[in-house]
Amino acid sequence: MDVFIAIVQILDSTIRLSVPLLLACLAGLFSERSGIFDIGLEGKMLVGAFAGAAAASVFHSAFIGLGMAILISVAFAMVHGFASITHRGNQIVSGVAINFIAAGSTIILGQAWFQQGGRTPALQPGERFDAIVWPGAEAVRDVPIIGPIYAELISGHSLLVYLAFLMVPFTWWVLFRTRFGLRLRAVGENPAAVDTAGISVAWLRYRALICTGILTGVAGAYLSMVQNGGFVKDMTAGKGYIALAALIFAKWKPVNAMFACLLFGFLDAAAIRLQGSPLPIIGKVPVQFMQALPYILTVILLAGFIGKAIPPRAGGVPYVKER
Amino acid sequence: MSTPYAKLPAWADYGLIPLINLAVAFIVAGFVVLLVGENPFRAAVILVEGAFGKGTGIAFTLFYATTFIFTGLSVAVAAHCGLFNIGTEGQAYIAGLGIAIVCLSFDSVLPWWLTFPMAIVASALVGALWALIPAYLQARRGSHIVITTIMFNFIAASIMVYLLVGPLKPAGSQAPQTRNFLAGAELPKLNWIIELFGAKIRSAPLNVTFLLALLMAFLVWLLIWRTKLGYEMRTYGHSPKAARYAGISETRIIITAMMISGALAGMMALNPVMGDQHNVAIDFVSGAGFVGIAVALMGRLHPVGIVLAAVLFGMLYQGGAELAFEMPAISRDMIVIIQGLVILFAGALEHMFRPYIQALFASFSPRSVGMEAVKGKGA
């Protein structure tokens, strides 16, 4: 029974740890499917986290925080769009720039506004998203098997967690069942064809980037307002890049993205749980190996040893109309 | 890289436009300073004075510049071949391992001038090998070099952390770093050069690696513009199709370019490790690899430009430290913002002001933008 409880707990933290990855991964999905590479997921999450925590603590409202996180994150996405769509700049260079501007400005502004070494004030109850306890969760807790699963795994997460997982079918529906989604996928594969059909390539890509900004904003808000009670400098700590890896791992598909993020979240949860304690059969696994595993797996996948990851064909190429 | 824009005179292309882009980046940074509640002009004065006002400042500026010359050259060599090596950070980090092995084995028996060449070779070799796998995957498996090099940055960091908290850490020590090197692995300082000009230097880590960096800048120039390999690399960078048609082996050129890039990145580690800290510590690269991207873009991928841009960033780092001292509201992270803005305006938005400048040139002298030739044809 102890083993079972331990497994449920690991799965529970898997869910918590994979939510920011999932949101960022879906964000990347929108932009990359429209043909815009986005290395700047990391930076947009970071500004989202900062704006969310800062606004929530100033206005004493979690929802104002969330709104501000989305707003600022979308603004950064628009900078990326301005550089890479309007001015046809190198998308990777632009993404790198956004990551730096985000990393620097969150610390500088945080220090100037709150004077707590780049942190925002600790969020009070009501300023952060609290756990939602589902009806009857406490009553069934003692029921074997189903009890812990219902009480730990399903119930007791914050609003943003459920939102993140609902975004998976929603993203699938938008991309594969709506006209906007069809066009968005088309513009990532063959923008000239979309242009010939009389649809603005630039506007379509801008809209895709707005979706990206919204989702990275929510991901950032989750980090600073759910997982942590406030903003800490550099709190994304490479999650934007893991999300990028997950996106490739998922072969640019929403449902796969969820499983990839759960896998990477699980690796993280297991690494934290084990902390270097020996595993049966394998023996002691260094924590660093577990942390590097998502990246190693992605490289192996990219190398074509486990299936083939084929990116959207027009990805990374600015669209030039007149040639 | 083909641009959908007409030609400008060379001095405008290589001098005026980068300067305008840089100026805009600094103006925006000035607004951030304003937002923080400080005076941007005073900040700029403190920054420049901190970097060049005293001999010690100059030495520190050049010390940082040394690091950035290496990473800038590394990014530039790959970029000439059309490859975006974002993995400079990881290649430099893991190269610390090569240096550690050489220094820890020989620092008690050999003098520095024997350890140094071996460390150069070791760092370049490890850096090149770390770039080899992404290069091979790009060339033969078609996996995107940007993604693989990012992944390799994280893998390098994990390996180094594992080694520095475990096998490489001396017994009984708590700090995650190797033992301090002995005299045989300490590089001589170059501060006397600045002292020749009458300046006083308290203690600054400027060392012989600076000369190595300048030598590498020259060799990169030689490689890119004066050798067959460099020509092939530039051809591939301009048009992979043309290169294939000309019989240039895609695999060979990608792997060679990336390994040279990785070797240059690896040599960067010599400067902080052997010249300053005399040990290999966790995160000793601390973002210098990414600064290389800004430096390479700012320097327009030309070694001379890169050396100038590296000095500029060295100035920002040194002056930024002084600035943090004078204005408590501004920490060194201000540099990260400026770095990001430079990458944005000199890299991603490099063509933003081009049409306006072109129009300006055309209105003053149509000949300078090549309009005369078009008219001549029509007549």
Q: Which residues of A touch B339 (CB under 8 A)?
A: 100, 104
Q: For the purposes of burial, counting CB atoms within 10 Å of the CB of B197, is it exposed (0-12), middle (13-18) or buried (19 or more)?
A: exposed
Q: Within an 8 Å CB–CB cutoff, is residue A303 touching chain B? A: yes
- Decide: helix, strand or coil at residue B150: helix
**For range B106-118, the mean pLDDT:** 89
Write down the pLDDT at residue B376: 45
ipTM score = 0.87
pLDDT tens for each residue of B153-179: 999 999 999 999 888 888 878 888 888
Write down the pLDDT at residue B17: 82
Which of A89, A109, A320 lies at the smallest CB-CB distance from B35? Answer: A109
Q: Which residues of B touch A105 (CB under 8 A)?
A: 32, 337
Q: Which residue has the higher pLDDT, A10 or B365?
A: A10
Write down the pLDDT at residue A307: 63
Domain ranges of chain A: 16-167+178-237
Q: Within an 8 Å CB–CB cutoff, is residue A322 touching chain B? A: yes
**For range A185-196, the mean pLDDT:** 90
Q: Please state which of the ranges A277-281, B171-175, B236-240, B249-253 shows the lowest mean pLDDT.
A: A277-281
Length of chain A, please? 323
**For range B317-322, the mean pLDDT:** 85
Domain ranges of chain B: 68-307
CA angle B269, B92, B148 (to 5 degrees): 180
Q: Within an 8 Å CB–CB cutoff, is residue A293 touching chain B? A: no
State how far the Cα of A66 lies from the Cα of A53, in Å rounded to an integer. Answer: 8
The answer to whether residue B302 scores a pLDDT higher than 60 is yes
Confidence band, pLDDT 50/70/90 cuts, at residue B88: very high
Which of B36, B146, B339 lies at the smallest CB-CB distance from A100? Answer: B339
pLDDT tens for each residue of A104-122: 999 888 888 888 877 888 8
Contact present, A78 and A209 (Cβ < 8 Å)? yes
State how far the Cα of A48 lies from the Cα of A53, in Å rounded to an integer. Answer: 8
Write down the pLDDT at residue A273: 78
Tell me whether residues B347 and A94 touch, CB distance under 8 A. Answer: yes
Confidence band, pLDDT 50/70/90 cuts, at residue B378: very low
State how far the Cα of A73 lies from the Cα of A65, in Å rounded to an integer. Answer: 12
Give residues 179 to 218 of A whose Cβ lies within 8 Å of B. none
Which of B4, B137, B159 lies at the smallest CB-CB distance from A320? Answer: B4
**For range A33-58, the mean pLDDT:** 92
Write down the pLDDT at residue B349: 85
3-state secondary structure chain A: CHHHHHHHHHHHHHHHHHHHHHHHHHHHHHHHHCCCCCCCHHHHHHHHHHHHHHHHHHHCCHHHHHHHHHHHHHHHHHHHHHHHHHCCCCHHHHHHHHHHHHHHHHHHHHHHHHCCCCCCCCCCECCECCEECCCCHHHHCCCCCHHHHHHHHHCCEEHHHHHHHHHHHHHHHHHHHCHHHHHHHHHHHCHHHHHHCCCCHHHHHHHHHHHHHHHHHHHHHHHHHHHCCCCCCCCCCCHHHHHHHHHHHCCCCHHHHHHHHHHHHHHHHHHHHHCCCCECCCECCCHHHHHHHHHHHHHHHHCCCCCCCCCCCCCCCCCCCCC
**For range A294-313, the mean pLDDT:** 77
Contact present, A28 and A38 (Cβ < 8 Å)? yes
Confidence band, pLDDT 50/70/90 cuts, at residue B119: very high
Which of A84, A102, A295 lies at the smallest CB-CB distance from B151? Answer: A295
**For range B127-139, the mean pLDDT:** 92
State how far the Cα of A293 lies from the Cα of A284, in Å rounded to an integer. Answer: 15
Q: Within an 8 Å CB–CB cutoff, is residue A178 touching chain B? A: no
Q: Which residue has the higher pLDDT, A304 or B107?
A: B107
Give the torsion sign (CA, A303, A305, A310, A311): negative
Tell me whether residues B144 and A291 touch, CB distance under 8 A. Answer: no
Write down the pLDDT at residue B377: 44
State percent of chain A over pLDDT 90. Answer: 41
Q: Which residues of B touch A302 (CB under 8 A)?
A: 137, 141, 143-144, 147-148, 151
**For range A186-211, the mean pLDDT:** 92
